[in-house]
Amino acid sequence: MAGSSLIEARAVDLGYGREVVLRGLDLVVERGDFVGILGPNGAGKTTLFRGLLGLVEPLGGRIERGDTRLGYVPQESTFDAAWPVSALEVVALGDRRQGLFGRRARREKALEQLARVGLTERARQRFTSLSGGQRQRVLIARALMAEPDALFLDEPTSGVDLPSQERILRAVTELNADGGPAVLLVAHQLELVARAAQRFLWVAEGRASEVTADDLPGLFHPTPRAAGGEVSHA
């Protein structure tokens, strides 16, 4: 893996059992990257994410992560609400360190991460009592606890109001711009992603292709010409 590369995927097939969902993925994520991942529902964006995170083993090809530390922000709706955890506890769960010791340091670090997403005053509040946007920011703070080199966000703006979407995206953009982690972000809102990301991955019909910002409107609202394969698959 090259020096600045965090993740390298070469000719990777991803799927479940024998069913291939995504074929021939080639992707190199480097420090400072902000990759927006877009595509229709059910196209395989989540499978791509899970493959890069190591949650799904490739059916073919190889994915190298080296010593890259990964941070994962799932959709807040996948977070099981049956657990009566406070916002601070959720964030502290993101710490990689094991065991009972260092609880005070972990707590202070968790408070710092909550401050980074502007939620210090909600630290003691029960996670389920927060708004959708606040919950999503708490999950971002949790991912930051792991001091990730690459931050994966799975539709962090889905189901939250517009001001919250803006706030979430601003927080992520600032993290990325400050020499922080590379960001891989799955989202449906083209305008939001187009503003923040530098690179774009379009996932459709079992393929993931790197495209430019100019290609995106045509892909989202395809004319017969664009839909016919204007964008080549990697």
Partner 1 sequence: MPSPAVLAELQLGELPLSLVWSLFGLSILATLAAGFVAPLVGSFLLTRRTGFLGIVLPQFAAAGVAFGYLVLPFWTEHLGHLLDPVAHGDEAHLALGYHLLWAGLFTALGLALVALSSRRRDGTDTGMMAAAFAIASALTVLFAHGSPVGDIYVHGLLRGEILAIDEHELEILTGTLALVALGVVLGARHLTRVGIDPDSARVLGDRPLLWELFLALLVGATVSVSVMTVGPIVLFGLLVIPPLVARAFARSMTSFLVLASLLGGLSAAGGVWTSFTFDWPLGPSVVVAAALLLIPALPRLFGRGR
Instruction: Enumerate binding residues for partner 1 (CB under 8 A).
Output: 50, 53-55, 70-72, 74, 78-80, 82-86, 88-90, 93-94, 96, 98-100, 124-126, 128-129, 142-143, 146
- Give 91 or 219: the residue with its C-beta nearer to partner 1: 91
Residue whose pair of structure tokens reads 């529902």 in the numeric block: 41
Which strand ranges, in their side-by-side order, compose the sheet holding 60-64?
A: 60-64, 5-16, 19-30, 207-211, 199-204, 34-38, 182-186, 150-154, 70-73
Least distance in Å: CB of 203 to partner 1? Answer: 19
> What CA–CA distance (Å, rounded) separates 58 from 55?
10
DSSP 8-state assignment for residue 19:
E
Least distance in Å: CB of 81 to partner 1? Answer: 9
- Give 3 or 17: the residue with its C-beta nearer to partner 1: 17
Residues 6+ apart with CB under 8 A from 16: 47, 56
Least distance in Å: CB of 183 to partner 1? Answer: 15
Least distance in Å: CB of 84 to partner 1? Answer: 4
Residues 6+ apart with CB under 8 A from 115: none
What radius of gyration do the chain's Cα atoms show? Answer: 18
Least distance in Å: CB of 145 to partner 1? Answer: 9
Instruction: Tell how strand 70-73 and strand 5-16 pair up.
Output: unpaired
- Give 23 or 50: the residue with its C-beta nearer to partner 1: 50
- Give 94 or 180: the residue with its C-beta nearer to partner 1: 94
Contact (CB, 8 A) for 117 and 171: yes
- Give 85 or 187: the residue with its C-beta nearer to partner 1: 85
